[in-house]
Amino acid sequence: MSIAANNQFWVPEIVYIEDAVEESYVASQVRRYVPPQKIERIQSGQIEEIIHQINASPDPYQSGKKRLLLRATKGGFFNQCPGTQGLLCCNYFVINPILGCNYDCEYCFLQGYLDSPLIQIVGNLEYHLSELQQWIQQRPNSFFRIGTGELGDSLSLDHILELAPYLISFFNQFPNTQLELKTKSENVYHLLHHDPGEHTIISFSLNPQKIIDAHEHGSASLESRLTAAKSADEAGYKLAFHFDPVVLYPGWEEDYQNIIRQLFDTVRHDRIQYISIGALRYFQELKVVMYRRFPNSGLLQGPFAPAKDGKWRYFRPVRETIFSTLQVMILKKDPKQWIYFCMEGRGMWKKIFNIDIQNQRNLDSFFKARRTGNSEPLLPLP
Q: Determine which helix (DSSP H) or strand (DSSP E) holds 179, and give its type and residue range.
A: strand 177-183
Question: What is the DSSP code (8-state) at residue 340?
Answer: E
> Between these two residues, 84 and 97, which has the higher pLDDT value?
97
Q: For 115-163, how does the pLDDT look when each residue is reduced to its tens digit (9 = 90+)? A: 888 999 999 999 999 999 999 999 998 899 999 989 999 999 999 999 9
Question: What is the DSSP code (8-state) at residue 106?
Answer: T
Q: What's the pLDDT at 227?
A: 98
Decide if pLDDT at 299 tops 70.
Answer: yes
Decide if pLDDT at 250 tops 70.
Answer: yes
Q: How confident is the model at residue 377 (pLDDT cuts 50, 70, 90)?
A: low
Q: How confident is the model at residue 382 (pLDDT cuts 50, 70, 90)?
A: very low
Half-sphere exposure of 136 (CA within 13 A, CB side): 22
Q: How confident is the model at residue 2 (pLDDT cuts 50, 70, 90)?
A: very low
Q: What's the pLDDT at 375?
A: 56
Task: Return d(Cα 277, Cα 344) in angstroms, integer.
Answer: 10
Task: Return d(Cα 167, Cα 97) in angstroms, integer.
Answer: 10
Q: What's the pLDDT at 253?
A: 98
- Report, as an integer, the average pLDDT of 18-45: 96
Q: What's the pLDDT at 373?
A: 64
* Percentage of the residues of the chain whose pLDDT score is greater than 90: 73
Q: How confident is the model at residue 379 (pLDDT cuts 50, 70, 90)?
A: very low
| DSSP letter string, 39-98 | EEEE-GGGHHHHHHHHHTSSSHHHHHTTEEEEE---S-SEEE----TTS----EEEE-SE
Q: What's the pLDDT at 20?
A: 97
> Distance of alpha carbon 4 from its chain centroid, rounded?
22
Among 77-86, 110-119, 150-159, 372-381, whose mean pLDDT is lowest?
372-381
* Percentage of the residues of the chain whose pLDDT score is greater than 70: 89
* Residue 271 CB burial class (10 angstroms; 0-12, 13-18, ≥19): middle
- Report, as an integer, the average pLDDT of 317-342: 94
Q: What's the pLDDT at 198?
A: 85
Sign for the CA dihedral angle at 216, 9, 81, 20 comes to negative
- For the chain, the average pLDDT equals 89
Q: What's the pLDDT at 82?
A: 66
- Report, as an integer, the average pLDDT of 356-378: 62
Decide if pLDDT at 350 tops 90.
Answer: no
Helices (H) and strands (E) in the chain, counts: 13, 18
Decide if pLDDT at 293 tops 80.
Answer: yes
- Report, as an integer, the average pLDDT of 280-297: 93
Fold of 75-102+127-371: pyruvate-formate lyase- activating enzyme (3.80.30)
Q: What's the pLDDT at 255?
A: 98
Q: For 165-217, how does the pLDDT look when each residue is reduced to its tens digit (9 = 90+)? A: 999 999 999 999 999 999 999 999 999 999 998 889 999 999 999 999 999 99
Q: What's the pLDDT at 3?
A: 36
> Distance of alpha carbon 257 from its chain centroid, rounded?
22
